[in-house]
Amino acid sequence: MNFLTPLFLLGGLAIAGPILYHLVRRTTRDKTVFSSLMFLLPSPPRLSKRHRLEHILLLLLRCAALALLALGFARPFLKQAPIIDPTAAQPKRIVVLVDTSASMRRDGVWAAARARAEEVLRRAGPADHVALYPFDRQATALVSFEDWNRTAPADRVAFAVGRLGALTPTWAGTHLGNALVTAAEALAENEDGKTAPGPRQIVLVSDLQAGSRLDALQAYEWPKGVELIVEAIKARNVTNAGVQFVADGPESTRAADAPVRVRVTNSPESKREQFKLGWTAATGAPATAANPSPTGEFLSAPIDAYVPPGQSRVFSVPVPKGMAGLEQISLRGDDEDFDNTAYVIPPAQQRATVLWIGRDVAEDVKQPLFFLRRAFAETPRVAVRIVASAPAAPLLPSDVQAASAIFVVDAVSTETATALREQALAGKTVVIAPKSVAFGPTLGALLGRPELTLTEGRTSNYAMLAEIDFQHPLFAPFADPRFSDFTKIHFWKFRKLDASGIIGARVVAKFDSGDPAIVEVPTGKGRIYVLTSGWQPEESQLAVSSKFVPLMWSLLEQAGGVASFATQYAVGDKVPLPADGTATTVRPPTGAAVALAAKAGEFAPTGQPGIYQLEGGAKPLRFAVNLDANESRTAPLATDELEQLGVPVARLKADAAVPAENKTLLQGLEAENRQKLWRWFVAATLAVLLIESALAGWTARRPALETQEVTP
Amino acid sequence: MSATSNPALASAKLIDPKALMSIRSLELRARAVVEGFWSGMHRSPYHGFSVEFTEYRQYTPGDDPRYLDWKVFARSDRYVIKKYEDETNLRVHLLADLSRSMDYGSVGFTKATYAATLAATLAYFIHLQGDAIGLLTFDEKVREYLPARHRVGHLRQIMLALEKPAAGRGTDLVAPLERITSLIRKRGLVALISDFLAPLDRLERNLLALAAGGQELTVFHIVDPAELNLGIEVPAMFEDVESARTLYIDPAAAREAYSRKFAAHTEALRAICRKLGVSYQQLSTAEPLEIALFEFLQQRMRRGRLFRRTGSMGTGGRS
């Protein structure tokens, strides 16, 4: 038998105590009352005769109790061949998740994380399978299991460490839930399709910030047998405040020089609460009109931002006079800089021109132009100029050039029609809403099909829009079932058009009679829309319905007149590109412009915060990419939250920390832990003490009984 | 002094003190002793006659018509009995020690109980004689004093005083004796009942003062059987009931010295009594009370000072 803490055996020396005690005759604790002690002298306690111990059995029991207790404390264990742990021999499958989110840019965090990840990799046994997954919003394999297995066993760790060395933190947010799900799934699937017999582990190397998103775990059933080992990295600085732009709503009427609202959050453990907030210029960029001072200093007097730890406050940062167009708000006074800049695109009113060709009198409430003017009323975001031109008047090139969309409602001369067609071929959008069947020849000329004729449609009472192609961009805003009801709009009059004869024509909406209501005819680079019924009250209720304005704006947007282009994104967000497909390149805040693939619907690599510029369209579009607001929440996340979501979080085993030279001790510790013999010793001590108490009680009572019997 | 040493008591049926002490009422106990002792005695021919008038009482049929007050009858046409206080010629004072040391007992009852019963017995007996009886209880100081009287209810008061539990801590024999010396002017009998577990230095002077005052003295020394020979076997912490002092005593070792000292103490007391002509009687609480009573009477007879109505009792008391 071996002992883990043999020094405790010295406690066995306490056996001497009971032996001495038994040698000394018991000085009784019993009190006898006597009438007077005046004739009595105190007697000294007597020692029993040498070598004559009293109550041998009691003495033995007491000694045994002490000895057993000492043995128990010495933590005994039986040395034996280490029991083969059935799981120990089997190779482990380990996914090392390394957090590369923006919060890892904090002082010293990334270096510590990389060192810890390297340590984890080096700890892997030769038979283990290891995969390395860095993650921010997504987890992607840096070293997959296949890579690991392909590499020679001796080179595996070096290979993985080498890959790890090239890794740097990104600017993206922390979607920890996604990463854990990805890792768990990577562990669940096996190369040969069978479940691996060995233990499966996920080692998470992360700063475990409170802003980590775990929502992906909520609907995920964690696979059995996959345990999570958390290697949390502690940041040197606990103070961290972040600044985020409070986005204006789409209906916002913020003027270009109105104050910008930003939210400043301070972490709960922060040691500071006083910050400065103000406009700055981008550092490193060349000085331009918009960026006059690229040193990072405040361009105007900063405002004081007082935010107590654990709270967030919204501040209005006024735009300094004469400096409209500033794009960067910075926070100063914070220990960690990674989240101290918010990028803002100053609001700018878009201008569009619509050319109207018709005989309408502007203020005639029965004419379609009247309604179109009201539909395109000016907003802070867009101002639409409608240029009305009589059908007979010659087309002014300047008007045509400026117009995004050309509305034709009355028959024009063939020359004009041909000129309009050329404009359509060149990329303009022409909207035709014939007021009468007399428009037929013009339509033929516009569409390049002179044989086309228009006939008056017949309705018993009224017609409704029946078949609407909600996939079409024109009606896409109405695709939601809440907005898709067009049956309330009655059409009294419409023109019959045989769309089947027009090559490439697409019927976007049909009347309930089956006749086309809106037809899109792609023409060259542009397109021609034919509305077979007008919106004026004489023909339909469309103008007075709630669908009219969005429909017209949708038309204008399709025509490229206005861009419904959002300007605020988070790092990693996909930026939808304008539908007209005119954007060809994206200029990120730093680095070379990125050419966009033809017909690319979105721009994905928004890898760093800053102002991006889309080029290629009529005018460049700018959008701001900011840090995920959650990245500023750098307080540590409690692992309990992971456990609550069903992720079994394992504590690191002790053996990881013990140096190799203490292996014997370690084995002893393990054996002792397994055998737990001390429990038996303590139990035996208790049993002996029980017997001792009973025996002592009995012996103590016996003389008393005897004296009672003696007393007559 | 044991029951068998008295030839007169040898054949008598004595009451076992244990049985006697199991009677709760002190008065009943006294009555049991005295009446058992007195059984067969004839009634005194002088009963109820005295010269000292005390009170009137309504005549009820059965009352002796001799004691009717005819003058009152003549005046008011009512029968009234005239009562007289018996005239006595002996005043007995009982001095009962009720200190805490008396509260010890190894035979099932304490010395205090025994002493109280003894005092009650004597009081009852003397009261029956028509003599005046007084009581003084004491511990380290005088607790209660009832002057010697023979009156209705006086005996009851004495019984009540005796029934009070032992309260005091120590025993002081000097103060009560000095007090009684100053209180008693008339000659009489003083019976001192105590365990005398106190220094005897000034006892002699005080007893002498009393004797010089013409008092006849009787000393009852109450001892517990365990006190005679340290009748405890197991070594233990001994606690003094009076001072609460504790000592570790191994009886086997201490017994010899104790017995010697106790015998010396008793002998010293006995010597004082002998010197002063005081009758001394050691009473073990294991002995029947009749012995005490008998010895008391015998001693009085020996002295030839029997009072008037006890003469017939002393000679023909027991049959």
For the segment B11-31, what is each residue's pLDDT rounded down to a tens digit? 556 777 777 887 878 888 887
What distance in Å separates the CA atoms of residue A493 and residue A511, rounded to the nearest whole number? Answer: 11
Mean pLDDT of B61-89: 81
Answer yes or no: is pLDDT of A649 > 60: yes
Residue B174 has pLDDT above 50, yes or no: yes
Locate the chain A residue with the closest alpha carbon to B247.
A42
Q: How confident is the model at residue A252 (pLDDT cuts 50, 70, 90)?
A: low
Spatial separation of the C-alpha atoms in residues A319 and A259, rounded to whole Å: 6
Whether residues B247 and A45 touch (CB distance < 8 A) is answered with no
In this prediction, residue B76 has a pLDDT band, given cuts at 50, 70 and 90, of very high
3-state DSSP helix/strand/coil percent for chain A, to nearest 5?
Answer: 30, 25, 45
Does residue B111 belong to the interface with chain A, where contact is any CB pair within 8 Å?
yes
How high is the pLDDT of residue A509?
Answer: 92
Pick A43's closest partner by Cβ from B106, B249, B262.
B249
Task: Report the chain B residue with the minimal C-alpha distance to residue A43.
Answer: B249
pLDDT at B77 over 50: yes
Name the residue of chain A whose CA is nearest to B286's CA: A712
Please indicate if any CB of chain B lies within 8 Å of the CB of A41: yes
Q: Is residue A709 within 8 angstroms of chain B, CB to CB? A: no
Confidence band (pLDDT; 50, 70, 90) for A709? Answer: very low
CB contact A708 to B (< 8 Å): no
Tell me if B248 and A43 make a contact (CB, 8 A cut-off). Answer: yes
User: Considering only CB atoms, which chain A residues are within 8 Å of B102?
Assistant: 35
Task: Using a CB–CB cutoff of 8 Å, tell me whether A38 touches chain B.
Answer: yes
- Answer for the pair B99, B140: CB distance below 8 angstroms, yes or no: yes
> What rounded mean pLDDT belongs to chain B?
78
Q: How confident is the model over A319-340, as a mean pLDDT?
A: 80
The residue of chain B nearest to residue A706, with distances taken between CA atoms, is B234
Check residue B266 and give its pLDDT: 92
- When scoring A25, A31, A32, A36 by the number of chain B Cβ atoms within 10 A, the one with the most, hence best to mutate, is A36
Percentage of chain A surpassing pLDDT 90?
A: 6
Q: Does B140 touch chain A (CB under 8 A)?
A: no
How far are the Cα atoms of A637, B104, B205 from residue B99, in angstroms, in the given order?
80, 10, 21
Gap between the Cα atoms of B179 and A631, Å rounded: 102
pLDDT confidence bin for A686, thresholds 50/70/90: very high
Query: Is B44's pLDDT higher than 50?
Result: no
Cβ separation B101–A36 shorter than 8 A: yes
User: Residue A584 above 80 pLDDT?
Assistant: no
Residue B131 contacts A, CB cutoff 8 Å: no
Average of per-residue pLDDT across A305-317: 88
Contact B227/A at CB under 8 A? yes
Secondary element (H or E) of residue A611: strand A610-615
Question: pLDDT band for position A197 (50/70/90)?
Answer: low
Tell whether A35 is within 8 A of chain B (Cβ): yes
Looking at residue A149, what is its pLDDT? Answer: 84
Average of pLDDT values for A152-159?
85
Is a pLDDT exceeding 90 seen at residue A172? no
Question: Which residues on chain B are in Cβ contact (under 8 Å) with A708?
Answer: none
Interatomic CA distance for residues A111 and A104, integer angstroms? 9
Do B249 and A28 count as a contact with CB atoms less than 8 A apart?
no
Q: Are A627 and A571 in contact (CB under 8 A)?
A: yes
From A260, A304, A133, A257, select the one nearest A206 (Cα to Cα).
A133
Cα separation, A578 vs A588, in Å, equals: 17
Confidence band of B4 (pLDDT split at 50, 70, 90): very low
Spell out which residues of chain A touch residue B235, defining contact as CB-CB under 8 Å: 28, 43
Q: What local confidence, expressed as pLDDT, does residue B152 receive? A: 81
Answer whether B245 sits within 8 Å of A37, measured CB to CB.
yes
Nearest chain A residue to B253 by CA: give it: A43
What is the model's pLDDT at position A222?
Answer: 85
The percentage of residues in chain A with a pLDDT greater than 70, rounded to a whole number, is 85
Question: Is A48 in CB contact (< 8 Å) with chain B?
Answer: no
Q: Which chain A residues are closer than 8 Å to B233 by Cβ?
A: 707, 710
* Residues in chain A within 8 Å Cβ distance of B249: 32, 40, 42-43
Identify the residue with better confidence: B235 or A53. B235
Q: Which of B101, B104, B262 sits opposite A39 (nearest CB)?
A: B262
Compute the nearest-CA separation of A64 from chain B (Å): 30
Q: Select the residue of B102, B235, B249 nearest A40 (Cβ to Cβ).
A: B249
Residues of chain A contacting B97 with CB distance shorter than 8 Å: none
Give the residue with greater pLDDT, A251 vs A340: A340
Res. A704: pLDDT tops 60? no
CB B229 within 8 A of CB A22: no
Going by pLDDT thresholds of 50, 70 and 90, the confidence category of residue B199 is confident
pLDDT value of residue B267: 93
Minimal-distance CA residue of chain A relative to B171: A36
Which residue, A194, A323, A173, is CA-closest to A256?
A323
Rounded to a whole number, what is the distance in Å from the CA of B141 to chain A's nearest CA? Answer: 18
pLDDT value at A588 more than 50: yes
CB contacts of B234 in chain A (<8 Å) are 28, 30, 32, 703, 707
Q: Are B240 and A29 within 8 A, CB to CB?
A: no
Closest partner residue to A34 (CB to CB) among B240, B253, B262 is B240
Within an 8 Å CB–CB cutoff, is residue A33 touching chain B? yes
**pTM of the complete model:** 0.47
Residues facing residue A570 across a β-bridge: A626
Q: B197 vs A35: CB contact, 8 Å cut-off?
A: yes
Q: How far apart are CA A258 and CA A243, in angstroms?
A: 19
A53 vs A530, residue with greater confidence:
A530
pLDDT tens digits along A81-113: 555 455 555 778 888 889 988 888 888 889 999
pLDDT at A691 over 90: yes
More confident residue, A115 or B251: A115
pLDDT mean over B30-38: 73
pLDDT tens digit sequence for A520-557: 988 888 889 999 998 988 889 998 899 899 999 888 88
Confidence label for A246 from pLDDT (cuts 50, 70 and 90) = confident
The residue among B10 and A325 whose pLDDT is bigger is A325
Looking at residue B51, its pLDDT comes to 52
Least confident of A367-381, A383-397, A468-482, B7-21: B7-21
Check residue A152 and give its pLDDT. 85
pLDDT score of B74? 93
Contact A28/B at CB under 8 A: yes
Chains A and B: how many Cβ contacts under 8 Å? 85
Contact A331, A275 (CB under 8 A): yes
Report the chain B residue with the minimal C-alpha distance to residue A35: B101
Residue B239 has pLDDT above 70, yes or no: yes
Backbone Cα Rg of chain A: 43
Contacts of the segment B180-187: beta carbons below 8 A, 24+ positions apart: B180/B93, B180/B95, B180/B136, B180/B210, B181/B206, B181/B209, B181/B210, B181/B213, B183/B136, B183/B145, B183/B147, B184/B91, B184/B93, B184/B148, B184/B213, B184/B215, B186/B91, B187/B91, B187/B213, B187/B214, B187/B215, B187/B216
Whole-number average pLDDT of chain A: 81
Which of A67-81, A229-243, A293-307, B213-227 is least confident?
Answer: A293-307
Nearest-angstrom CA–CA distance, A334 and A359: 65
3-state secondary structure B55-90: EEEECCCCCCHHHECHHHHHHHCCCEEEEEECCCCC
CB-based contact, A705 to chain B, within 8 Å: no
Pairing relationship of beta strands A610-615 and B52-58 according to DSSP bridges: unpaired
Count of beta carbons in the 10 Å neighbourhood of residue A269: 15
**B104 CA to chain A: closest CA distance, Å?**
5
Helices (H), chain B: 7-10, 17-21, 26-38, 70-76, 111-129, 154-163, 174-183, 203-212, 225-229, 251-276, 289-302, 311-316
Mean pLDDT value across residues A475-486: 88
The mean pLDDT value for A25-49 works out to 68
Q: How far apart are CA B274 and CA B282, in angstroms?
A: 13
In angstroms, the separation between the Cα of residue B304 and the nearest Cα of chain A is 38
CB neighbour list of residue A251: distance below 8 Å, 6 or more residues apart: none
Whether A637 has a pLDDT exceeding 80, the answer reads yes
